[in-house]
Structure 1
């Protein structure tokens, strides 16, 4: 029998198991909204007690599936427009988006901390168009490894909320300085959403990591105040379009969350300065 892979507990990396379990759990339903056989396979190879997650995260599970559905849709629309696009998955964890969207032509980079990439290597091998980068996204020397042939899209699911606002702002500005033009698609929590996530998801889910700090954003439009090159293209609630077939309790919770603006998906674009555009 193949030995299962052990997971380090009490760290941010442990949280990568939450969306992985959410996708695997959804896949095994009789009428799943998302099918992710890779997630099911990986769960079966990991030595980890998922019982706390299974007991406490029935509601959050729908959110993780929704985020994947929205991300898949965004990425597919992007590579339809830019067939040879480059996509960078920031804080990839054990994400499996590439296997669901690959068009056979794009470049796809998985970016995460060295320990996480080492864990991913137990389940994936790099290829010419699907590569891993072991680095904090804040250590922007990894920019030099990104090959861009067509459009450039950055994905970040469940990542930015663990950092401070200044760190995210500085990162976006560095991206703008280096790449000049690109798109971002990521999820954000309001300050109220941050408090809820720490208590209901991390603590009840048995995660032993620190509950301090984090980035809560409201309103989303305030991102444009950070730099004139930043433009919010679209923002919508995470539960948009996924309420069919979910329990009434989730529908009610989502309605309240939507009303309060607790959790949103954001499509953001970085483009050249307006003053530069006028001079060209």
Structure 2
């Protein structure tokens, strides 16, 4: 597990490096908003030129950190109510949430495609409470591998807007049918946010991947029209409460997407 791991440009795995780098970069600041030592450890084991990302992703880096902070807060609050919760990290990539929130009792499932789960094995080993599942989240046979003892929370950071609306709608309804009650916490992009993601993040970051299609959510409350069991508990802009320590110019630049609702964190409940 000590060998250097090479990620080639143009590979789908390349996009996994963006939020990972964002958390590691923040951790090494003088006054970090987020401390993620596991992200730093992983970055140190990866053979990849991060110079393009560092030069172009100042604004996006804030978003990746903010998303992690919102997710950690949501997970901590859920675990307080459900100390032995089952948490499923959909499209986990190289996410490190478990290392920051584990209370020693939760069951935490990392769900992603087989090549991503294989990549994660270079940095994580499965344990009785931290388990990798190789599957597309849309292939819901994996539902049967989830043990629910005390509440179920699905996390999905940077995932759902890569897919089409009908796919996400079908998935939520299937989860409702199978589990009965569960919570979802995920980030959503408006149609404008989708355009920004395609042009400003992947392209300027030197990524060889193209983000075609995708799900731009015009109104968060529209989710409740999909099925009577779906309720939006809360939604907030990505940057809300996350601008402390951010330079003034960047704060001003972040105010515009906040006002336009470009990117939101959504807490949705199925009951």
User: TM-score w.r.t. structure 1 length?
Assistant: 0.95
Divergent runs of 4+, >4 A: none
Deviation, structure 1 residue 211: 2.8
Partner SS state of residue 212, structure 1? coil
Q: SS of the counterpart of 1:183? A: strand
User: Which residue of 2 is the match for residue 223 of structure 1?
Assistant: 223
Structure 2: gaps (5+ residues): none
Q: Give runs of aligned pairs for residues 1-280 of structure 1, distance below 5 A.
A: 3-271=3-271
Q: In structure 1, what is the Cα distance between the partners aligned to 2:197 and 2:246?
A: 20
SS of the counterpart of 2:255? helix
Q: What secondary structure is seen at the aligned counterpart in 1 of 2:87? A: strand
Unaligned runs of at least 5 residues, structure 1: 272-280
User: How large is the RMSD of aligned CA atoms in angstroms?
Assistant: 0.9
Compute the TM-score of the two structures, normalised by the length of structure 2.
Answer: 0.98
- What CA distance in whole angstroms lies between the structure 2 residues aligned with 1:142 and 1:9? 30
Partner SS for 2:269: strand
Pairwise CA distance, 1:253: 1.9
